[in-house]
Amino acid sequence: MPARLFDEEFLRKLERLSLTARRIRTGVSRGENLTISRGASLDFADFRLYQPGDDFRYLDWNVYRRLNRLFLKVFTAEENLTVHILVDTSRSMAFGSPSKLWYAARLAAALGYLAIHNLDRVGVSAFAQGIEHSLPPLRQASHASTLFEYLGSLEPAGRTDFNGTLHDYAMQSRRPGMAILLTDLLDPGGYVEGLKALLYGRFDVLLLHVMDEQEITPELHGPYRLVDGETLEETELDLGSEMAIDYRRELERFFAEIEDFSLSNGIEYLRTTTRIPFEDVVLDYLRRGVFVH
Protein backbone atom coordinates (compact mmCIF):
# COMPACT_ATOMS: atom_id res chain seq x y z
CA MET A 1 0.00 0.00 0.00
CA PRO A 2 1.57 3.39 -0.95
CA ALA A 3 2.87 5.45 1.95
CA ARG A 4 1.02 8.49 0.57
CA LEU A 5 -2.25 6.91 1.63
CA PHE A 6 -2.27 9.06 4.79
CA ASP A 7 -0.18 12.11 3.98
CA GLU A 8 -0.69 15.59 5.47
CA GLU A 9 -3.01 16.61 2.65
CA PHE A 10 -5.19 13.58 3.38
CA LEU A 11 -5.42 14.47 7.07
CA ARG A 12 -6.33 18.07 6.27
CA LYS A 13 -9.13 16.78 4.03
CA LEU A 14 -10.40 14.61 6.87
CA GLU A 15 -10.51 17.62 9.19
CA ARG A 16 -12.51 19.58 6.62
CA LEU A 17 -14.88 16.64 6.21
CA SER A 18 -15.30 16.48 9.96
CA LEU A 19 -16.30 20.15 10.04
CA THR A 20 -18.74 19.57 7.19
CA ALA A 21 -20.21 16.57 8.99
CA ARG A 22 -20.83 18.68 12.08
CA ARG A 23 -22.64 21.30 9.97
CA ILE A 24 -24.78 18.61 8.35
CA ARG A 25 -25.62 17.22 11.78
CA THR A 26 -26.90 20.59 13.01
CA GLY A 27 -29.17 20.03 15.98
CA VAL A 28 -28.07 16.43 16.55
CA SER A 29 -25.55 15.78 19.30
CA ARG A 30 -22.69 13.42 18.59
CA GLY A 31 -23.39 9.82 19.45
CA GLU A 32 -27.09 10.58 19.75
CA ASN A 33 -28.87 7.38 18.76
CA LEU A 34 -31.97 7.33 20.91
CA THR A 35 -34.10 4.23 21.35
CA ILE A 36 -37.09 3.66 23.56
CA SER A 37 -36.68 1.20 26.43
CA ARG A 38 -38.15 0.63 29.84
CA GLY A 39 -36.20 2.13 32.72
CA ALA A 40 -32.83 1.99 30.94
CA SER A 41 -31.92 5.61 31.78
CA LEU A 42 -33.11 8.54 33.85
CA ASP A 43 -34.45 10.42 30.82
CA PHE A 44 -38.23 10.18 30.93
CA ALA A 45 -39.90 10.07 27.51
CA ASP A 46 -43.60 9.21 27.76
CA PHE A 47 -46.34 7.01 29.24
CA ARG A 48 -48.08 4.03 27.73
CA LEU A 49 -50.75 1.62 28.94
CA TYR A 50 -49.56 -1.31 31.02
CA GLN A 51 -49.38 -4.65 29.21
CA PRO A 52 -49.09 -8.10 30.85
CA GLY A 53 -45.43 -8.92 31.41
CA ASP A 54 -44.29 -5.31 31.91
CA ASP A 55 -42.06 -4.50 34.87
CA PHE A 56 -44.17 -3.29 37.85
CA ARG A 57 -41.28 -1.08 39.00
CA TYR A 58 -42.04 1.42 36.25
CA LEU A 59 -45.77 1.79 36.90
CA ASP A 60 -46.83 5.34 37.74
CA TRP A 61 -49.04 5.00 40.82
CA ASN A 62 -49.89 8.70 40.89
CA VAL A 63 -51.53 8.37 37.50
CA TYR A 64 -53.28 5.21 38.68
CA ARG A 65 -54.80 7.03 41.67
CA ARG A 66 -56.13 9.79 39.41
CA LEU A 67 -57.34 7.69 36.47
CA ASN A 68 -57.70 4.24 37.97
CA ARG A 69 -55.71 2.84 35.05
CA LEU A 70 -52.20 1.38 34.92
CA PHE A 71 -49.66 3.37 32.94
CA LEU A 72 -45.99 2.54 32.45
CA LYS A 73 -43.19 5.10 32.39
CA VAL A 74 -41.14 4.89 29.19
CA PHE A 75 -37.57 6.14 29.11
CA THR A 76 -35.04 6.96 26.41
CA ALA A 77 -31.80 5.00 26.36
CA GLU A 78 -28.82 6.46 24.57
CA GLU A 79 -26.95 3.94 22.47
CA ASN A 80 -23.84 4.33 20.38
CA LEU A 81 -23.91 2.95 16.89
CA THR A 82 -21.46 0.22 15.97
CA VAL A 83 -20.02 0.78 12.49
CA HIS A 84 -18.64 -2.34 10.80
CA ILE A 85 -16.32 -1.46 7.90
CA LEU A 86 -15.54 -4.43 5.65
CA VAL A 87 -12.87 -3.93 2.99
CA ASP A 88 -12.48 -6.33 0.07
CA THR A 89 -8.77 -7.23 -0.16
CA SER A 90 -9.07 -9.93 -2.82
CA ARG A 91 -6.60 -9.98 -5.68
CA SER A 92 -8.92 -8.16 -8.09
CA MET A 93 -8.74 -5.07 -5.85
CA ALA A 94 -5.11 -4.64 -6.93
CA PHE A 95 -6.23 -3.49 -10.38
CA GLY A 96 -5.79 0.12 -11.47
CA SER A 97 -3.51 3.05 -10.82
CA PRO A 98 -4.18 3.95 -8.07
CA SER A 99 -5.47 0.51 -7.18
CA LYS A 100 -9.06 -0.06 -6.12
CA LEU A 101 -7.79 -1.21 -2.72
CA TRP A 102 -5.77 1.99 -2.21
CA TYR A 103 -8.89 4.01 -3.00
CA ALA A 104 -11.14 1.82 -0.82
CA ALA A 105 -8.73 2.16 2.10
CA ARG A 106 -8.86 5.96 1.85
CA LEU A 107 -12.65 5.86 1.80
CA ALA A 108 -12.70 3.49 4.76
CA ALA A 109 -10.29 5.74 6.67
CA ALA A 110 -12.43 8.82 6.06
CA LEU A 111 -15.70 7.13 7.02
CA GLY A 112 -14.13 5.48 10.06
CA TYR A 113 -12.57 8.77 11.18
CA LEU A 114 -15.92 10.56 10.98
CA ALA A 115 -17.71 7.75 12.81
CA ILE A 116 -15.14 7.78 15.65
CA HIS A 117 -15.55 11.55 15.98
CA ASN A 118 -19.29 10.94 16.14
CA LEU A 119 -18.55 8.79 19.23
CA ASP A 120 -19.56 5.60 17.43
CA ARG A 121 -17.76 2.28 17.78
CA VAL A 122 -15.80 1.47 14.63
CA GLY A 123 -14.46 -1.98 13.73
CA VAL A 124 -12.69 -2.82 10.47
CA SER A 125 -12.23 -6.19 8.78
CA ALA A 126 -10.37 -7.22 5.63
CA PHE A 127 -11.95 -10.04 3.67
CA ALA A 128 -11.35 -12.21 0.61
CA GLN A 129 -12.18 -15.92 0.91
CA GLY A 130 -13.08 -15.16 4.51
CA ILE A 131 -12.30 -12.56 7.14
CA GLU A 132 -8.53 -12.32 6.82
CA HIS A 133 -7.96 -10.19 9.92
CA SER A 134 -9.83 -7.53 11.89
CA LEU A 135 -9.31 -4.41 13.93
CA PRO A 136 -11.45 -4.57 17.10
CA PRO A 137 -13.99 -1.77 17.56
CA LEU A 138 -12.50 1.62 18.41
CA ARG A 139 -14.38 4.50 19.96
CA GLN A 140 -11.99 7.23 21.09
CA ALA A 141 -10.74 9.88 18.67
CA SER A 142 -7.20 9.19 19.91
CA HIS A 143 -7.46 5.76 18.24
CA ALA A 144 -7.67 7.27 14.74
CA SER A 145 -3.96 6.61 14.16
CA THR A 146 -4.57 2.89 14.89
CA LEU A 147 -7.33 2.89 12.28
CA PHE A 148 -5.08 4.56 9.72
CA GLU A 149 -2.18 2.21 10.41
CA TYR A 150 -4.40 -0.84 9.98
CA LEU A 151 -5.91 0.36 6.69
CA GLY A 152 -2.52 1.44 5.39
CA SER A 153 -1.20 -2.10 5.88
CA LEU A 154 -3.82 -3.87 3.73
CA GLU A 155 -2.53 -5.85 0.76
CA PRO A 156 -4.56 -7.56 -2.00
CA ALA A 157 -4.40 -11.36 -2.10
CA GLY A 158 -6.57 -14.40 -2.76
CA ARG A 159 -9.97 -15.01 -4.27
CA THR A 160 -13.33 -13.67 -3.07
CA ASP A 161 -16.01 -15.60 -1.24
CA PHE A 162 -18.41 -12.71 -0.81
CA ASN A 163 -21.48 -14.70 0.20
CA GLY A 164 -19.80 -17.11 2.59
CA THR A 165 -17.77 -14.40 4.28
CA LEU A 166 -20.71 -12.08 4.93
CA HIS A 167 -22.89 -14.95 6.09
CA ASP A 168 -20.30 -15.98 8.68
CA TYR A 169 -19.71 -12.37 9.72
CA ALA A 170 -23.41 -11.73 10.25
CA MET A 171 -23.85 -14.90 12.29
CA GLN A 172 -20.84 -14.19 14.52
CA SER A 173 -21.47 -10.49 15.18
CA ARG A 174 -22.86 -9.83 18.62
CA ARG A 175 -23.49 -6.15 18.04
CA PRO A 176 -25.09 -5.46 14.64
CA GLY A 177 -25.19 -1.89 13.45
CA MET A 178 -24.14 -0.21 10.24
CA ALA A 179 -22.19 -2.41 7.81
CA ILE A 180 -20.18 -0.44 5.25
CA LEU A 181 -18.88 -2.68 2.47
CA LEU A 182 -16.13 -1.49 0.14
CA THR A 183 -15.75 -3.94 -2.74
CA ASP A 184 -15.61 -4.32 -6.52
CA LEU A 185 -18.26 -7.10 -6.31
CA LEU A 186 -16.21 -9.25 -8.67
CA ASP A 187 -17.16 -12.66 -7.37
CA PRO A 188 -18.51 -15.32 -9.77
CA GLY A 189 -20.63 -16.59 -6.87
CA GLY A 190 -22.52 -13.31 -6.72
CA TYR A 191 -23.44 -11.07 -3.83
CA VAL A 192 -27.14 -11.64 -3.07
CA GLU A 193 -26.89 -14.25 -0.31
CA GLY A 194 -24.17 -12.39 1.53
CA LEU A 195 -26.10 -9.14 1.58
CA LYS A 196 -29.27 -10.97 2.63
CA ALA A 197 -27.35 -12.50 5.54
CA LEU A 198 -26.39 -9.04 6.79
CA LEU A 199 -29.97 -7.83 6.47
CA TYR A 200 -31.23 -10.91 8.32
CA GLY A 201 -28.67 -10.14 11.03
CA ARG A 202 -30.29 -6.70 11.46
CA PHE A 203 -27.48 -4.69 9.88
CA ASP A 204 -28.10 -1.44 8.05
CA VAL A 205 -26.09 -2.00 4.87
CA LEU A 206 -24.17 0.59 2.89
CA LEU A 207 -22.61 -0.83 -0.26
CA LEU A 208 -19.74 1.14 -1.78
CA HIS A 209 -19.02 -0.33 -5.20
CA VAL A 210 -15.46 0.64 -6.19
CA MET A 211 -14.34 0.27 -9.80
CA ASP A 212 -11.56 1.45 -12.05
CA GLU A 213 -12.42 3.54 -15.09
CA GLN A 214 -10.76 0.96 -17.35
CA GLU A 215 -13.27 -1.62 -16.15
CA ILE A 216 -16.13 0.59 -17.27
CA THR A 217 -14.71 1.90 -20.56
CA PRO A 218 -11.76 -0.34 -21.49
CA GLU A 219 -9.42 1.17 -24.06
CA LEU A 220 -8.42 -2.10 -25.67
CA HIS A 221 -8.57 -3.09 -29.34
CA GLY A 222 -7.21 -6.09 -31.19
CA PRO A 223 -6.08 -9.52 -29.97
CA TYR A 224 -5.36 -9.85 -26.25
CA ARG A 225 -4.69 -12.52 -23.68
CA LEU A 226 -6.80 -11.57 -20.66
CA VAL A 227 -5.89 -12.89 -17.21
CA ASP A 228 -8.55 -13.16 -14.49
CA GLY A 229 -7.38 -11.04 -11.55
CA GLU A 230 -8.34 -13.67 -8.95
CA THR A 231 -8.38 -17.09 -10.58
CA LEU A 232 -5.44 -16.28 -12.91
CA GLU A 233 -7.28 -18.10 -15.71
CA GLU A 234 -6.33 -16.88 -19.19
CA THR A 235 -8.64 -16.14 -22.13
CA GLU A 236 -7.63 -15.07 -25.62
CA LEU A 237 -9.96 -12.55 -27.22
CA ASP A 238 -10.05 -10.30 -30.25
CA LEU A 239 -11.44 -7.10 -28.80
CA GLY A 240 -13.33 -5.34 -31.58
CA SER A 241 -16.16 -2.82 -31.62
CA GLU A 242 -18.88 -5.52 -31.53
CA MET A 243 -17.41 -7.11 -28.42
CA ALA A 244 -17.09 -3.68 -26.82
CA ILE A 245 -20.84 -3.17 -27.33
CA ASP A 246 -21.62 -6.59 -25.82
CA TYR A 247 -19.36 -5.85 -22.86
CA ARG A 248 -21.04 -2.53 -22.21
CA ARG A 249 -24.47 -4.12 -22.41
CA GLU A 250 -23.53 -6.82 -19.88
CA LEU A 251 -21.94 -4.25 -17.60
CA GLU A 252 -25.06 -2.08 -17.61
CA ARG A 253 -27.17 -5.16 -16.85
CA PHE A 254 -24.85 -6.00 -13.95
CA PHE A 255 -25.16 -2.47 -12.55
CA ALA A 256 -28.94 -2.45 -12.98
CA GLU A 257 -29.31 -5.72 -11.09
CA ILE A 258 -27.25 -4.40 -8.16
CA GLU A 259 -29.21 -1.16 -8.07
CA ASP A 260 -32.57 -2.93 -8.22
CA PHE A 261 -31.61 -5.43 -5.51
CA SER A 262 -30.31 -2.66 -3.24
CA LEU A 263 -33.40 -0.50 -3.72
CA SER A 264 -35.83 -3.34 -3.08
CA ASN A 265 -33.98 -4.44 0.08
CA GLY A 266 -33.33 -1.08 1.71
CA ILE A 267 -29.58 -1.12 0.99
CA GLU A 268 -27.81 2.19 0.42
CA TYR A 269 -25.81 1.70 -2.79
CA LEU A 270 -23.22 3.99 -4.33
CA ARG A 271 -20.95 3.19 -7.24
CA THR A 272 -17.75 5.13 -7.75
CA THR A 273 -14.52 4.94 -9.70
CA THR A 274 -11.03 5.69 -8.48
CA ARG A 275 -11.04 8.87 -10.57
CA ILE A 276 -13.59 10.53 -8.28
CA PRO A 277 -12.00 12.30 -5.28
CA PHE A 278 -12.72 10.22 -2.19
CA GLU A 279 -13.94 13.24 -0.23
CA ASP A 280 -16.69 13.81 -2.82
CA VAL A 281 -17.94 10.27 -2.21
CA VAL A 282 -17.92 10.77 1.56
CA LEU A 283 -19.80 14.06 1.29
CA ASP A 284 -22.40 12.36 -0.89
CA TYR A 285 -22.99 9.86 1.91
CA LEU A 286 -23.11 12.56 4.56
CA ARG A 287 -25.76 14.44 2.63
CA ARG A 288 -27.84 11.27 2.53
CA GLY A 289 -27.73 11.19 6.32
CA VAL A 290 -25.42 8.24 6.85
CA PHE A 291 -23.87 9.66 10.01
CA VAL A 292 -26.96 11.54 11.10
CA HIS A 293 -28.78 9.26 13.51
Q: What is the CA radius of gyration of the chain?
A: 23
CA angle (219 as vertex; 191, 252 as ends), nearest 5: 35
Domain tally, the chain: 2
Pair 60, 103 in one domain: no
| Within a domain: 50 | yes
Higher-pLDDT residue of 247, 50: 247
User: What is the extent of the structural domain holding 211?
Assistant: 3-28+81-287
Pair 195, 93 in one domain: yes
Give this prediction's pTM.
0.76
* Residue 3 confidence (pLDDT) above 50: no
| Within a domain: 292 | no
Pair 266, 230 in one domain: yes
Q: Provide the pLDDT for residue 138.
A: 86
Q: Provide the pLDDT for residue 8.
A: 80
Pair 74, 91 in one domain: no
Pair 141, 280 in one domain: yes
* Residue 37 confidence (pLDDT) above 50: no
Q: Provide the pLDDT for residue 28.
A: 44
Pair 74, 105 in one domain: no
Question: What CATH number does residue 174 fall under?
Answer: 3.40.50.410
Q: Provide the pLDDT for residue 31.
A: 45
Pair 54, 188 in one domain: no
For 84-116, what is each residue's pLDDT tens digit? 999 999 999 999 989 999 999 999 999 998 888
For 206-217, what is each residue's pLDDT tens digit? 999 999 998 888
Pair 71, 202 in one domain: no
Pair 21, 40 in one domain: no
Q: Provide the pLDDT for residue 77.
A: 46
End-of-domain residue from the set 45, 64, 79: 79
| Within a domain: 293 | no
Higher-pLDDT residue of 61, 179: 179
Task: Report the 10 Å Cβ neighbour count for 159.
Answer: 18
* Residue 291 confidence (pLDDT) above 60: no
Pair 209, 66 in one domain: no
Question: H-helix or E-strand containing 144?
Answer: helix 144-152
| Within a domain: 212 | yes
Task: Report the 10 Å Cβ neighbour count for 236.
Answer: 8
Q: Provide the pLDDT for residue 32.
A: 46
Pair 16, 61 in one domain: no
Q: Give the confidence band of 118 by pLDDT, cuts at 50, 70, 90.
A: confident
The SS3 of residue 116 is helix
| Within a domain: 69 | yes
Pair 272, 234 in one domain: yes
* Residue 119 confidence (pLDDT) above 50: yes
Q: Tell me what the pLDDT averaged over the chain comes to.
A: 80
* Residue 150 confidence (pLDDT) above 90: yes
CA angle (197 as vertex; 205, 127 as ends), nearest 5: 75
* Residue 169 confidence (pLDDT) above 80: yes
Q: Provide the pLDDT for residue 78.
A: 47
Cis preceding-peptide flag for 218 (omega within 30 of 0) = no
CA distance 22 to 30: 9
| Within a domain: 86 | yes
